[in-house]
Structure 1
Amino acid sequence: MDGVVNYRIMEVAPGSRSWLLHARYVRGEHNVCLELVDELQRASHNTHRYAHFIKGMVLMDAGRYQDALERFHNCIRLQPRDPEPVKQVAKCLFQQGRYQLSLEAYMEADKLSKHQDPEIYCGLAECASKQDDLERGAEWGRAAVQAGGGERAAALLARLLLAAGDMPGAMAAYDQALSGDACGADTLAAAGALRLRAGDPRRAFQLLGAALAQQPTQHAAALALGAMLLTHRDADAALARLKAALAAHPVCVAAHTNLGLALMAKKKYIAALTCLHRAASSAPLSARAAHNLGLALLACRRPASAFCRFATAAALRPSEPHTVLLIGVALEQLGDERADAAFARAAELAPEDALVQLNVAGRHARAARLPLAAQLAACAARLLHQQRSPDPHLASMLANLLVLLREAGVDTEQLPSAPAVEITDEATRDEDEV
């Protein structure tokens, strides 16, 4: 309905029923609109501009873009200097995927417009983004914001800057939208997800919570908040948010995957396998879905099935070290000699990952290759000491490995000690469960 209220064809002679046509369209009474359009055109010998315009809008709403184009062109022939029909022509062309023609139509509407129109600039930005001209699209996005485009313009600018790799600029654009307007749930959710990616969980939690408070079925916010809670080991709250995300979007692969991981944290393995199987079936080319299903199968002591899933994930993403590491774990449980090659490959892919180095060291220790185990344990200790806040689970694993090496006769006095970290009761319980 964009453009109807401001359309200057409303200025008609006394006795015209354009006001009634406008009211019918705003109420969504499209069938009545079309009947009234035909009546007005018969009375005016097919020269009623507003009737042409409204019929074009009705046809555009119905997805009949080519028919709508004809109506808008009739408006342009009757009043060539009016930018509103030209804007609607641009929208129809955009919906048809004719982005260059749409851009040219928006440019013509901008020439005809007597003021800076943020709707035109937003359209130009979207056309440029579809043509992979992100720099030019961002320029028009900024023009839309400066012209008073409000939330829509700022959110569009943020998306374009994010697509161009400018995360600080995207966050600044969202901040501007949030400070100047009462934003909707979609914008709040997008801003919260971006803050989460940028490593600002506190602000992300506020924005995602605000989005859900405004629209409890907002899928993206529920999914992001559920994943955030799952990362912080709050499985119960994560389950509630992920179920809400699935209620709004039942076929979401990410929601099924995260729900499965949350159920695993609650030791509900059958339900977790069901969710993860559903995710892997819905997205057979998703390496992450295959990886997570393999992880669940490994936890359920089904190493052969887990190996098949990890192999699928590794085929889709060969350079993922954790998937290759888990292939080694599954092969070791199966007694397959190829486990050593998988562990070596994982260590090669992630030489600065303490988790990988510790697991490879453990493999060497179990295979009685104690000097290699000691060497990799020293590497893992060095990596953990370099971290500002070392993972307590990894520190505990390293301490246990050093004890075992010392009992096996290895001189560990030359090795760095495990970093001292505070391990909570919850963390100790989680480690015992694993």
Structure 2
Amino acid sequence: MLETESVGGSRNWLLHARYVRGEHAMCLEMAEQLQKQCQNAHRYAHFIKGLVLADAGRYQEALERFHSCIRLQPHDPEPLKQVGKCLFRQGRYQLSLEAYLEADKLTKHPDPDTYCALAECAWNLGDAERGVEWARAAVQAGGGERAGALLAKLLLACDDMQGALNAYDHALSTHACGADTLAAAGALRLRIGDPRRAFQLLGAALAQQPTQHAAALALAAMLLQHKDLDAALARLKAALTAHPTCVAAHTNLGLALMAKKKYIAALTCLQRAVWAAPLSARAAHDLGLTLLMCKRPTSAFCRLAAAAALQPSQPYTVLLIGVALERLGDSRADAAYVRAMALAPEDPLVRLNLAGRHARAGRLTEAVEEAGVTAELLNREEKADGQLASSLASLLALLRDAGVELSQLPSVPDANTPLPIEPTNEVATPDEERLAPDEV
């Protein structure tokens, strides 16, 4: 075998160069010539042909070429690694794991690529804890950005958020990371409540790759929280340019347009989100909320009912169903309000809406009880929600005007923060008549 290998060995560099340059047709032709000269025993020709077939998606044929390499040189780990890669792309994760383990046994020195592949196989097999061990080994072996980002993702899957943060920080401090890693680290910083660092990381990701839709989405969410609607719209449009079917981008764009009172455009974006993900409860919920704000309770009820069917334990969806039914004059509204309260008994927003429902129905005693529960829940919080405290004060004033004695009314918690400017559920515009309910 050594003799046959040496016959075509002088041309291995040309075979490799053509593969690297993407000249796959010429590469296959040359590999066939070398095999004829060496009686089908040229190991490197088998290897390159397997790489070309794998790049073309012909994984089964590529596996045959790599197995030929293994038969010719059983102690070489590279063909085994390529076998593992082909099996992984076919979704045969257990077999891929076994192939990489065999390659690891043949490798004389720690190989970070093999460890990363083992971690990804373990992740796809549902064994995240074992994957963390392999990812740590890859980091220690010098796996660079790939190993650090993989370790952070696996730690996050194991609910070790601090460990994931440390892994991202280590990767960012020791390597020149790409836009995907920067975006993931920024999104995690945003989740833990560190907006300053998140803004830096997301901005760096977009500076490196302006079409990185994950970073654009996260940065747009931050801008929406700070009421910078124009900048958020620009980021969301950039995200949609890179990923036209992104449901989150369509949804957030629709909500941002709704805040700017561009109702038709907002409904169009939210409808596209529902079309792109018909089984997304969040998309259906947001479309139902917007339809409710546009005085279209019938359409809103249909969307909210679909969202509740997909995610029955979401209290806010059930609460909005109660609001829609109440606007339609349906007696089932009370059941929806009570169901929302049963799903979230400690949520002051749900209890306040239930109190308002009792007050509008003339059940003043029940309204006072629910208002008292709401006041107690708000008092438990370190900082009372200013919007809820203001709404509770308005409800208590209405109950007092209705004849309820002052001694029966609870005290309104003192909100230490100024009232946020939120879009109201009632859309009050000069063109309100043009937003007539679609059921008329």
Instruction: Specify if TM > 0.5.
Output: yes
1:351 corresponds in structure 2 to: 345
How far apart, in 2, do the equivalents of 1:18 and 1:247 lie?
43
Matched, 1:169 2:163: yes
Within 2, Cα distance between the matches of 1:83 and 1:397? 69
Residue 147 (structure 1) aligns with: 141
1:397-421 alpha-carbon deviations (Å, 9 max, x no partner): 1121122222222233551223234
Which stretch shifts more, 385-394 or 274-283? 385-394
Q: How does 1:212-231 map to 2 (within 5 A)?
A: 212-231=206-225
Residue 117 (structure 1) shift: 0.3
In the alignment, what sits opposite 1:73? 67
**Retained in 2: the 8 A contact 1:393–1:431?**
no
AA aligned to 2:117 is G
Equivalent residues of 1:174, 1:191 under 8 A apart: yes
The one-letter amino acid paired with 1:198 is I
User: Hey, what's the Cα distance between the residues in 2 that align with 1:15 and 1:348?
Assistant: 75
1:306 aligns with 2:300: yes
How far apart, CA to CA, are the structure 2 residues paired with 1:352 and 1:359? 13
| 2:286 equivalent among 292, 305, 314 | 292
- In the alignment, which of 9, 13, 21 is matched to residue 27 of structure 1? 21
Give the residue type in structure 2 aligned to 1:382.
E
C-alpha distance 15-282 of structure 1, shift in aligned 2 (>3 A): closer
Instruction: State the secondary structure of the residue aligned to 1:401.
Output: helix
Contact residue 385 and residue 417 of structure 2 kept, 8 A: no
The answer to whether the Cα contact below 8 Å between 2:240 and 2:250 also exists between their aligned partners in 1 is: yes
**Letter paired with 2:293:** A
Aligned counterparts, 1:2-401, within 5 A = 16-401=10-395
Alpha-carbon distance between aligned partners in 1 of 2:30 and 2:252, rounded to the nearest angstrom: 53
Q: What's the % identity of the aligned pairs?
A: 72
SS in 1 for 2:406: coil
Contact kept, 8 Å, 1:41 with 1:51, in 2: the verdict is yes
Of residues 404-413 and 238-247 in structure 1, the stretch that sits farther from structure 2 once superposed is 404-413
CA distance in 2, matches of 1:352, 1:403: 23
CA distance in 2, matches of 1:26, 1:253: 37
1:69-92 CA-partner distances (Å, limit 9, x unpaired): 121122222222211111111111
Residue 95 (structure 1) shift: 1.5
Change (3 A) 1:429 1:40: closer
**2:433 alignment partner in structure 1:** none
The Cα offsets for residues 125-176 of structure 1, whole Å up to 9 and x where unpaired, read as 1122222122211111111111111111111122222222222222222222
Residue 382 of structure 1 contacts residue 416 of structure 1 at CA under 8 Å; is this kept in 2? no
Q: Per-residue displacement from partner, 1:358-399 (whole Å, max 9, x unpaired)?
A: 111111111222222122122222222222333222121112
Task: Give me the TM-score of the superposition, normalised by structure 2.
Answer: 0.91
Q: Compared with structure 1, are the counterparts of its residues 306 and 431 closer, same or farther at alpha carbon in structure 2 (3 Å cutoff)?
A: closer
Question: Which 4+ stretches in 1 moved above 4 angstroms?
Answer: 11-15, 428-434
1:342 deviation in Å?
A: 1.2
Which residue identity is paired with 2:412? S
CA contact (8 A) 1:124 1:140 kept: yes
Counterpart in the other structure of 1:418: 413
Q: Would the aligned equivalents of 1:399 and 1:418 in 2 still touch at CA under 8 Å?
A: no
Aligned residues: 423
Q: In structure 2, do the counterparts of structure 1 residues 31 and 151 end up closer, same or farther at CA, with 3 Å as the change threshold?
A: same
Tell me which amino acid in the other structure corresponds to 1:409: G
- 2:415 aligned partner, one-letter code: A
- Going from structure 1 to structure 2, the CA distance change for 1:427 and 1:54 (only over 3 Å counts) comes to same
Asked if structure 2 preserves the Cα contact closer than 8 Å seen for 1:381 and 1:419, the reply is: no
For 2:261, give the aligned amino acid.
Answer: K
Unmatched tracts of structure 1, length 5 or more? 1-10
- 2:255 is paired with a residue whose SS is helix
Taking structure 1 as reference, are residues 422 and 76 closer, same or farther at Cα in structure 2, changes over 3 Å only?
closer
Query: Deviation of residue 200 (structure 1)?
Result: 2.5
Inter-partner Cα distance in structure 1 for 2:141 and 2:113: 9
Determine the C-alpha separation between the residues in 2 that align with 1:12 and 1:357: 82
Structure 2 runs not aligned, ≥5 long: 429-440
What's the offset of the Cα at 1:302? Answer: 0.7
Name the counterpart of 1:409. Answer: 403
Q: Which structure exhibits the higher relative contact order, with contacts defined as CA atoms closer than 8 Å and separated by 6 or more residues? A: 2
Q: Tell me the equivalent position of 1:5.
A: none
| Aligned mates of 1:27, 1:402 — CA distance in 2 | 76
Q: Determine if contact 2:263/2:294 at 8 Å carries over to the other structure.
A: yes
Q: Match of 1:427, SS?
A: coil
Alpha-carbon contact 2:281-2:306 (below 8 Å) kept: yes
State the 1:12 CA deviation: 6.4
**Amino acid corresponding to residue 81 of structure 2 in structure 1:** K
Larger deviation, residues 193-202 vs 81-90: 193-202
Out of 298-307 and 124-133, give the one that drifted further: 124-133
